[in-house]
Amino acid sequence: MITFKNVTKCYEDTETYAIRNFSETIEDGEFILLTGESGAGKSTIIRLLLKEIEPTMGRILVDGRDISSIEDRKIPLYRRQIGIVFQDFKLLPDHTVYENINLARMIAGSGRNKEDKKISYLLSLFGLDMLYKRYPRELSGGQMQKVCLARAIINHPSIILADEPTGNLDRNASVEIMRLLELIARQGSTVIVATHDVDTADGLSYRQIAIEKRAQDISYTYQKTQA
């Protein structure tokens, strides 16, 4: 379970709130679409969960534990339970499909034989069986994103975070990626997707968390106490 308790983030060099007084509880296995206009704070929420940045105020609990209490040296271990998917894929260009997925597995240090089977299983689940020897430049955007999904879930993370995963894809590829993300949630991972494209999830079962920026909510007193 992931709980945000009155989370506020001001980036160091700005006076404005990236996210303000955000509270929400996300249960295990939920498929969440995080929506809101550009600048609403969707990526900020994802980055907070990854511990790339720290909240200015408030607390974030993952399975009951306040993640701000995790020591720096334990952050890699914390991140091991999280799979990440980006808009711009971030595949290694000089590695094949297989190698890109396998590398994620090796970094996590899991055993070889069983996982080879797991990679084949994922490739066939995602319809990539024939493509495992190809390099990213030889794939379509939709295929690249499927490789990213496979890479994100190869180590059985309990949480998947995806920031605009369909941002560079056409409608059909987007619908397919959303369908796979929902499938991943149905298999038990908590999946949080920041997206502008709610309609690509038509017919899927999801919960939408819509961030609405209300101008000057909560009042300035809050802002002053932070300085």
Ligand X SMILES: Nc1ncnc2c1ncn2[C@@H]1O[C@H](COP(=O)(O)OP(=O)(O)OP(=O)(O)O)[C@@H](O)[C@H]1O
- Among the listed residues 42, 51, 118, 146, the single contact to ligand X using CB under 6 A: 42
- Smallest gap from Cβ 215 to ligand X, in A, equals 13
Which 189-218 positions form the footprint of ligand X (CB under 6 A)? none
Count interface residues toward ligand X (CB under 6 A). 13
Q: For the purposes of burial, counting CB atoms within 10 Å of the CB of 3, is it exposed (0-12), middle (13-18) or buried (19 or more)?
A: middle
3-class SS string, 12-64 = CCCCCCCEEEEEEEECCCCEEEEECCCCCCHHHHHHHHCCCCCCCEEEEEECC
Of the candidate spans 40-48, 94-102, 109-117, 124-132, the one that interacts with Mg ion by CB under 5 A turns out to be 40-48
189 binds, among ligand X, Mg ion, none (CB under 5 to 8 A by kind): none
18 binds, among ligand X, Mg ion, none (CB under 5 to 8 A by kind): ligand X
φ/ψ of residue 64, rounded to 5: 85, -5
Q: For the purposes of burial, counting CB atoms within 10 Å of the CB of 109, is it exposed (0-12), middle (13-18) or buried (19 or more)?
A: exposed
Nearer to ligand X, 110 or 168 (CB): 168
Q: Which residue has tokens 């996982």? A: 115
- Among the listed residues 2, 32, 41, 86, the single contact to ligand X using CB under 6 A: 41
Which 14-33 positions form the footprint of ligand X (CB under 6 A)? 14, 16, 18
Q: Is 36 in the site for ligand X (CB under 6 A)?
A: yes
Of the candidate spans 9-17, 55-63, 173-181, 216-224, the one that interacts with ligand X by CB under 6 A turns out to be 9-17
- Among the listed residues 43, 96, 166, 174, the single contact to Mg ion using CB under 5 A: 43
In the complex, the residues that contact ligand X under the rule CB under 6 A are 11, 13-14, 16, 18, 36, 38-44
In the complex, the residues that contact Mg ion under the rule CB under 5 A are 42-43
